[in-house]
């Protein structure tokens, strides 16, 4: 079954909501300067409210020491890199602990995605495909090119998981899963009431629709640690 990640969490009560609704992963943005950014101290309280959901820290071109320190202090299960981090940096972070590393890409074409996946295939556990929103690094609600993503993902190495983000919401997540077959679907703005505050109705509907879509994913979702 496709796993679900609720990202951009800013409040402990929203983390508890996501966990109660069945989210497999919860994400907090740990780089400053974004509308949903949170400090390590704030993230600790958010993750503490998330029960057994896996913890994802989102970083944008942060220094290696900063990422490693936060990952250890917060007990992260996944380090998500959402900037221009090169493969060597992703590999070094992956070797720094038992967490997974996911690298976000914002491809406009199948070839862009294939080139990016090839560059990172040996040093990350998953490629997260986000929508291209101009100069923004994410959280714009821009939709990824599903058909291009699906075609490219069929050529990924078997061990490389696909995380689909960008423009997802309760009304289209089932269609996205059926067309793309990602290992994980990732939503932030698509389940918000206002920026930084999740809608309980939308979170529950998104997860219910993802579960309804069902099917077998293209990637193994059983391991929560790096190989």
Give the number of domains in the chain: 1
Q: What's the pLDDT at 139?
A: 52
Could you say which of 24, 125, 130, 186 is catalytic?
130
pLDDT one digit per residue (tens) for the chain, 227 residues:
899 999 999 999 999 999 999 999 999 999 999 999 999 999 999 999 999 999 999 999 999 999 999 999 999 999 999 999 999 999 999 999 999 999 999 998 899 999 999 999 999 999 999 986 555 555 556 788 899 999 999 999 999 999 999 999 999 999 999 999 999 999 999 999 999 999 999 999 999 999 999 644 333 333 444 44
219 within some domain = no
143 DSSP assignment: P
**Is 115 among the catalytic positions?**
no
Is residue 39 one of the residues assigned to a domain? yes
Of residues 7, 14, 24, 77, which has the active-site annotation? 7
Residue 214 corresponds to which tokens in the numbers above?
A: 């069902």
Residue 29 Rama label (left phi>0; alpha psi -120 to 50; beta): beta
Q: What is the pTM of this model?
A: 0.91
H or E segment and range at residue 201 = helix 200-213
130 in catalytic set? yes
Q: Is residue 227 part of a domain?
A: no
- The alpha carbon torsion through 80, 131, 47, 220 (nearest 10 deg) reads -60
Task: Tell me whether residue 223 is in a domain.
Answer: no
Instruction: Copy the structure tokens of residue 67.
Output: 């990422």
Q: Collapse the DSSP code of 89 into the 3-class scheme (helix H, G, I; strand E, B; otherwise coil) and give the result.
A: helix
Q: Are 56 and 43 in contact (CB under 8 A)?
A: no
pLDDT reported for residue 227? 40
Does a structural domain hold residue 40?
Answer: yes
Pairing type for strands 192-194 and 197-198 reads antiparallel
Which pLDDT does position 142 carry in this prediction?
75
Q: How far apart are CA 33 and CA 30, in angstroms?
A: 10
Residue 199 lies in a domain: yes
Beta strands 184-187 and 161-164: pairing type?
Answer: parallel
Domain contains 220: no
**What's the rounded Cα separation, in Å, for the pair 53 and 65?**
25
In CATH, what number is assigned to the domain containing residue 104?
A: 3.20.20.70
Does any domain span residue 27? yes
Strand partners for 158: none
Distance CA 47, CA 4 (A): 16
What residues make up the domain containing 142?
3-213
């Amino acid at each position: 079954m496709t796993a679900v990640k609720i990202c951009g969490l800013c409040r402990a009560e929203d983390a508890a909501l996501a966990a109660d609704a069945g989210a497999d992963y919860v994400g907090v943005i740990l780089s400053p300067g974004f509308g949903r950014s949170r400090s390590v101290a704030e993230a600790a309280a958010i993750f503490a409210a998330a029960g057994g959901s896996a913890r994802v820290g989102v970083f944008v071109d942060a220094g290696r020491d900063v990422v490693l320190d936060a990952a250890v202090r917060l007990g992260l299960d996944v380090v998500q890199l959402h900037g221009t981090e090169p493969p060597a940096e992703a590999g070094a972070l992956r070797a720094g602990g038992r967490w997974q590393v996911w690298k976000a890409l914002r491809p406009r074409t199948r070839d862009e995605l294939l080139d990016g996946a090839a560059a990172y295939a040996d040093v990350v556990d998953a490629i997260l495909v986000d929508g291209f929103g101009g100069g923004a690094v994410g959280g714009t609600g821009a939709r990824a090119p599903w058909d291009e993503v699906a075609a490219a993902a069929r050529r990924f190495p078997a061990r490389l998981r696909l995380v689909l983000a960008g423009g997802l919401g309760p009304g289209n997540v089932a269609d996205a899963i059926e067309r793309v077959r990602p290992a994980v679907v990732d939503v932030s703005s698509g389940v918000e009431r206002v920026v930084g505050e999740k809608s309980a109705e939308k979170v529950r509907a998104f997860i219910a629709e993802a579960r309804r879509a069902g099917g077998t994913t293209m990637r193994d979702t059983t391991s929560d640690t790096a190989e």
